[in-house]
Chain A
Amino acid sequence: MDIRNLIGKKMLYFDGGLGSLLQAQGLQPGEEPERWNISHPDIIENVHFSYYQVGCHIVTTDSLGCNELNFPDNGTYSVENIAKAAVENANRARSRADELDGGSEPRFIAFSIGSLGRLLKPLGTMPFDEAYKVFARTVKAATSAGADILHFETINDLYEVKAAVLAAKENSDLPVFVTMTYDASGRLMTGGDVPGEVALLEGLGVDAYGLNCGLGPAQMKPIALQMLDYSSKPMIVNPNAGLPTTVNGKTVYSVGPDEFAEVMEEIVKAGVWIAGGCCGTTPAHMSAMIDRCRNIEHKPLTKNNRSLVCGTSKTVEIGPEPVIIGERINPTGKKKFKEALRNHDIEYIVREGIKQQDSGAHVLDVNVGLPEIDETQMMADVVYELQSVIGLPLQIDTTNPITMEKALRLYNGKALVNSVNGKQEVMAQIFPLVKKYGGVVLALCLDEEGIPDSAEGRLAIADKIYKTAESYGIDKKDILIDALAMTISSEPTAGTAAIATLDGIRDRYNGHTVLGVSNISFGLPQREIINSAFYTMALSHGLSAAIINPNSEPMMRAYYAYRALAGLDPNCQEFIEKAPTLVSAAAAPIPATVAAVPQASGSADSLGACIERGLKDGAATFATEMLKDHSALDIINGELIPGLNKVGKDFEQGKAFLPQLLMSAEAAKAAFEVLKNHMAGSGEIREKKGTIVLATVKGDIHDIGKNIVKVLLENYDYDVIDLGKDVPPELITETVVSTHAKYCGLSALMTTTVPAMEETIKQLREAAPWCKVMVGGAVMTQAYADMIGADAYCKDAMAGVNYAESN
């Protein structure tokens, strides 16, 4: 029998703990329990049997760590052999149980698959694709061993779960269950939350999901209740027998069967359809729980109509409150942004993202399309880097379906998809991707016939889109209808048509809407006046999400004022808090850097003095001022470099310290920005001193030191190519060769990564004998540097600059 026909219709019980029972039979701390499938099959079979015997429907195999990272050998204890033995042990137990009662209850074997124990990139070092491969091998082994269910459990990271579920879906037809482990505050270890798990796993189409391990039933209950609020699928709850305590050096779980059963009864009554236990629970716990739950009248499973998107640590619900989608990551009409794309300057793009988040964006649109670059690779790189520092959901904005698929696959969470429209061809390209990877999709009210002028015409297209989406299995809640803000300067009814479309979607379909607000004012002066007024109009007609510039004061004024007026801001508290930030001097540019960095106090009376004292704003102001009667080059050579040199010297002599050195570097950078912009216009050219490739070596993920060296070298006008952290020797060598870089700077923090540095130097010596190699990092010493054949050991960032300047 396929369990998919039973879940949500019949109450099903998982088994309880395994590890603690095996420890009682002699499993040693640190010993891998999966080995016992082969070395002690009878013990494993008996544990499974004892769970079937008390009425559990689903037994989980002893295979939590059965993956090729833990079992790399292909001998007796290979992944495949363990999987086979694990399923056989459960099968024998099932036959025995069936014999006893003639198989009156359905019995299933869930193949348990746990976390790989590695954190995925970008937070850790394991690539997503590699995690996928490891899971895929276990999935195949479990499937051919004859398991009934693939059960991923005790995973506490959403990204790892995504790799696991994709591996399951693409390599097996078995039902997929997932249970994740939370802390008592309802967070996953990597910051994910309950609605995030719901969004991701329902988006990926798993059959049942929920919670296990980490907490006892009492601590798990509020988390389970929260999950029920969001979920539309059958939920699983498998808690521990309380929180572990250590008694006489032994781990003990203190919640007994009766207490366990009492709380589980409450959880099941609330609407959970699959219940069991984890660490410390025993057949006695399961028996007590099954007894207590026997007569519960179950709540029928209902479809939840909540529209969710999530990023790495933030889930956004579309509908209850207006959502701001930041529009700034987009090259259209932005010279600097285009330049950043061409130079693969992803940090620039990430900074644009951080600024928007700080300004109040809830979601960030990501558009990196430029004819001369590889959009697919760029999109993957930008999404990846944005997600390494920004927890918000992203909106993938591309017309290229290949780019869309790659981004949705690598994306950590459930994304917004920008976009489909009423054209059959586009829907046929995009809807299957949304179905497979999950997502909320923006749907533009246009089709093969163009854009209807009237709201009725647009609503007809929306209707077609809803119906087509449904035929792909995509719910209405996962569609955001774009009512289309056209330009009022060329089409007088553009504003009213959009508003009437918003009304129609809200009133006829109870659906969600989106607008790219600023199109409305194209061709007009003082566009923000029109934009912000239109934004307020649209909000009061139920606009769910707006694509706007969150750095724009008038737009944010409209947003906070609307919330206060619409009763969404209790006591107008948020408005009162934000008000002072919404009335700065007219049209003041957004500061180039985020505030909150206390600046050195006092003032300084020259550019050089500002740099010495690390005054960022002052340095930029003085640079602008000086350009009136000095050339940029004169300013650089007369003020900037001497200022930097002075601080550098003080640093070397122990009179200034690292933070001061860096504040000066940042101040110089701010002045350089001003001067560079001027030079781009005037045609002045500053000779670059040479190219330098910087990297933190393979295996090492500490990059603060390398970043410090980078800032200093850039100020001294080197062309710095920053390859980032955990960089393989081959890539470093390849880059040095292709750019014919004069210098290469390598950083390693730990003894364990020095061999990678040595290997890099070896490869550089062969392929790029001209290149001078500087090394640094906490673990480095002159002796180490000599031993691995570096040209120079740099004890700090200034030493790196000095070496480059003099060699």
Chain B
Amino acid sequence: MLNADPREAARYLGYHRTQPDAAVQALIEACITEVEAAAVPKSTHERFPLLFSGDETFLVASLHLKSRSLMRNLAGCDEVYLFAATLGIAVDTLIKRAALMDTAKGAVMQAAAAAVIEAYCDEENEKLREEAQSEGLYLRPRFSPGYGDLSLDCQRDFLNLLKAQKNIGLTVTDSGLMVPIKSVTAIIGISSTDNNCHLQGCEACSKSECTFRR
């Protein structure tokens, strides 16, 4: 059980401050249960020193990243975790199947799966936080390619570095999309100072016009 939040799924479905009616609420909860049953969640991470090379460019092992927003996020960090997680391919099939039989259920299943992967990432992120804490270190909010001005182009090198295909079955298409669909990659800064920043996910992103913003 991943404790996925039905409210998170509702938000992906466009409910902002409104509570879904009973039928939709029941459907959301049923879909979360189905996603959790089908999912084979897996994650992998590796810890690397962070090298700033100026001009908003970073070097993590062989990975070059250029982003102003990430620069802000990683200020004061000497190391990072590269992190990747996926719910597995059976969830892709589950969503497709639901959509084929009933469009409403398909849309809700999609949102439920998004809530489940977020919950799973939170859980794994927490383990990393504890690991860092035991060394007297602090973590920055996780930051994913696609947030702010960090381009998706880095996905292939990012996943190669983590051997994500072999370790957790996470692949990337030639157009930079991840398969299985319900997957997350993120950079998590490691710092010796706590910046008391609790912005996570949406709030850490600078895309204020995004439809799905919390």
- B22 pairs with A351, CB closer than 8 A: no
Report the separation of the CA atoms of residues A702 and B92 in the bound assembly, to the nearest whole angstrom.
10
**Residue A225 at the chain B interface, CB threshold 8 Å:** no
Contact, CB under 8 Å: B14 / A657: yes
Q: Which of B73-111 contact A (CB under 8 A)?
A: 79, 88-90, 92-93, 95-97, 99-108, 110
A115 in the interface, Cβ–Cβ < 8 Å?
yes
Determine whether A699 belongs to the interface, using a CB cutoff of 8 Å to chain B.
Answer: yes
For B166, the chain A residues whose CB sits under 8 A away are: 115, 154, 156, 181, 213-214
B103, A665: Cβ atoms closer than 8 Å: yes
B177 touches A (CB below 8 Å): yes
Q: For residue B209, which residues in chain A have a CB less than 8 angstroms away from its CB? A: 781
Distance in Å: Cβ of A345 to nearest Cβ of chain B: 12
Return the CB mask of B97-134 against A: 1 if under 8 Å, else 0: 10111111111101000000000000000000000000
Contact B20 A659 (CB under 8 A): yes
B203 at the interface (CB under 8 A from A): no
- Contact partner of B21 (CB less than 8 A), chosen from A181, A351, A660, is A660
Name the A residues within 8 Å of B71 (CB-CB): none
Contacts of B211 in A (CB 8 A): 778, 795
Answer whether residue A7 sits at the interface, using C-beta atoms and an 8 A cutoff: no
Give the nearest-CB partner of A248 in chain B: B47
Q: A119-B171, A701-B181 are in contact. Are A28 and B103 (CB under 8 A)?
A: no
Bound-complex Cα distance A115 to B181 (A): 19
Question: Given contacts A598-B30, A753-B175, are A29 and B61 in contact (CB under 8 A)?
Answer: yes
Give the residue among A124, A125, A700, A750 with the most B Cβ atoms within 10 A.
Answer: A124
- Is there an interface contact between A189 and B23, defined as CB atoms closer than 8 Å? no
In the assembled complex, the CB of A383 is this many whole angstroms from the nearest CB of chain B, namely: 16
Q: Is B63 an interface residue when CB atoms closer than 8 A count as contact?
A: yes
Q: Which of B161-206 contact A (CB under 8 A)?
A: 161, 165-166, 168-169, 171, 173-177, 179-181
B152 and A657: CB pair below 8 A?
A: no
A354 touches B97 (CB 8 A): yes
Within 8 Å CB of A594, what residues of B? 101-102
Chain B residues with Cβ below 8 Å from A249 are 46-48, 79
Tell me, rounded to whole Å, the shortest Cβ–Cβ distance linking B139 to chain A. 15
Q: With an 8 A cutoff between CB atoms, is B56 at the interface?
A: no
Q: Interface residue count for A (Cβ, 8 Å)?
A: 71
Say whether B179 contacts A123, CB under 8 Å: yes
A104 within 8 A of B: no
CB <8 Å contact, B100 and A350: yes
Q: A119 to chain B: which residues have CB within 8 Å?
A: 89, 171, 173, 179
Number of B residues with CB within 8 Å of any CB on chain A? 65
B165 CB contacts on chain A under 8 angstroms = 115, 117
Given the interface pairs A30-B63, A597-B27, the reply to whether A752 lies near B176 with Cβ below 8 Å is yes
- Asked if B173 and A388 sit within 8 Å, CB to CB, the answer is no
The answer, yes or no, to whether B37 is at the interface (CB within 8 Å) is no
Write out the residue numbers on chain A whose beta carbons fall within 8 Å of the beta carbon of B161.
29-30
B18 within 8 A of A: yes
Contact between B173 and A118 (Cβ–Cβ < 8 Å)? yes
Q: Pick the contact of A30: B14, B101, B160, B174 (CB < 8 A).
A: B160
Chain A residues with Cβ under 8 A from B90's Cβ? 191, 313
Q: Is A78 an interface residue when CB atoms closer than 8 A count as contact?
A: no
Q: Separation in Å of the A308 CB from the closest CB of chain B?
A: 21
Interface string of B30-74 (1 = CB under 8 A from A): 100000000010100111100000000000011100000000000
Contact check: which of B20, B27, B89 meets A190 at CB < 8 Å?
B89
CB of A704 within 8 Å of the partner chain: yes
Query: How long is the Cα–Cα vector from A314 to B172 in the complex, in angstroms?
Result: 25
A125–B61 CB distance below 8 A: no
Q: How far is the CA of A391 from the CA of B171 in the complex (A)?
A: 20
Question: Given A313, A660, A752, which contacts B177 in the complex, CB threshold below 8 Å?
Answer: A752
Q: Once bound together, how far apart are the Cα atoms of A347 and B101, in whole Å?
A: 9
Tell me if B175 and A702 are in contact (CB < 8 A): no
Check if A708 sits within 8 Å of B13, measured CB to CB: no
- Which of A124, A390, A598, A658 contacts B26 (CB under 8 A)? A598
- A-B contact number at CB 8 A: 179
Chain A residues in 8 Å Cβ range of B46:
29, 246, 249, 251
Tell whether, in the assembled complex, residue A750 and residue B40 are in contact, meaning their CB atoms are under 8 Å apart.
no
Residues in A174-197 with C-beta less than 8 Å from chain B: 181, 183, 185, 187, 189-191
- Least distance between A423 CB and chain B CB atoms (Å): 39
- Which of B14, B100, B161, B181 has the largest number of chain A CB atoms within 10 A? B100
Residues of A contacting B105 with CB < 8 Å? 597
| In the complex, residue of chain A having the shortest beta-carbon distance to the beta carbon of B90 | A191
Q: In the assembled complex, which residues on chain B have CB atoms less than 8 Å from the CB atom of A752? A: 152-153, 175-177
Distance A249 CA – B78 CA, assembled complex (angstroms): 13
- List the A side residues contacting B174 at CB < 8 Å: 118, 125, 699
Any chain B CB within 8 A of the CB of A271? no
Distance in Å from the Cβ of A458 to the closest Cβ of chain B? 40
Q: Mark A429-453, 1 if CB is under 8 A from B, else 0.
A: 0000000000000000000000000
Contact partner of A658 (CB less than 8 A), chosen from B30, B89, B107, is B107
Chain B residue with the shortest CB-CB distance to A613: B23
- The residue in chain A whose Cβ has the minimal distance to the Cβ of B157 is A30
A620 to chain B, nearest CB (A): 14
Cβ-defined contact, A597 with B104, below 8 A: yes
Contact call A699/B175, Cβ cutoff below 8 A: yes
CB within 8 Å of A: which of B1-30?
13-15, 18, 20-24, 26-28, 30
- Shortest distance between the CB of B190 and any CB in chain A (Å): 10
Partner of B97, one of A389, A614, A702, A795: A389
Residues of chain B within 8 A of A756, CB atoms compared:
175
The answer to whether A191 and B89 touch across the interface, beta carbons within 8 angstroms, is yes
Interface of chain A residues 663 through 706 with chain B (CB within 8 A): 663, 665-666, 698-702, 704
Which residue of A189, A251, A750 is within 8 Å of B175 (Cβ)? A750
User: A569 to B66, alpha carbons, bound, how many Å?
Assistant: 61
Whether B47 lies near A246 (C-beta < 8 A) is yes
Does residue A599 face the partner (Cβ distance < 8 Å to B)? yes
Asked if A750 and B100 make an inter-chain contact with CB atoms under 8 angstroms apart, the answer reads: no
Cα(A29)–Cα(B60), bound, Å: 10
Whether A354 contacts B100 by the Cβ 8 Å rule is yes
Bound together, the chains give a CA A598 to CA B171 distance in angstroms of: 34
- CB <8 Å contact, B181 and A388: no
When the two chains form the complex, which single residue of A156, A214, A597, A778 contacts B102, counting CB atoms closer than 8 Å?
A597
What is B's interface to A at a CB cutoff of 8 Å? 13-15, 18, 20-24, 26-28, 30, 40, 42, 45-48, 61-63, 79, 88-90, 92-93, 95-97, 99-108, 110, 146, 151-153, 157, 160-161, 165-166, 168-169, 171, 173-177, 179-181, 209, 211-212
Beyond the given A125-B177, A750-B175, please list 7 additional residue pairs across the A-B interface where CB-CB is below 8 A.
A117-B171, A123-B93, A125-B175, A249-B79, A601-B22, A658-B14, A704-B99
What are 18 sample pairs from A and B whose C-beta atoms fall under 8 A apart?
A29-B61, A30-B160, A117-B171, A123-B179, A125-B179, A249-B47, A354-B100, A593-B102, A594-B102, A598-B26, A657-B13, A659-B24, A662-B103, A665-B103, A701-B173, A701-B179, A751-B146, A751-B151
The 9 closest A-B CB pairs, nearest first, are A189-B169, A699-B175, A30-B62, A662-B104, A600-B23, A752-B176, A125-B173, A249-B47, A598-B26
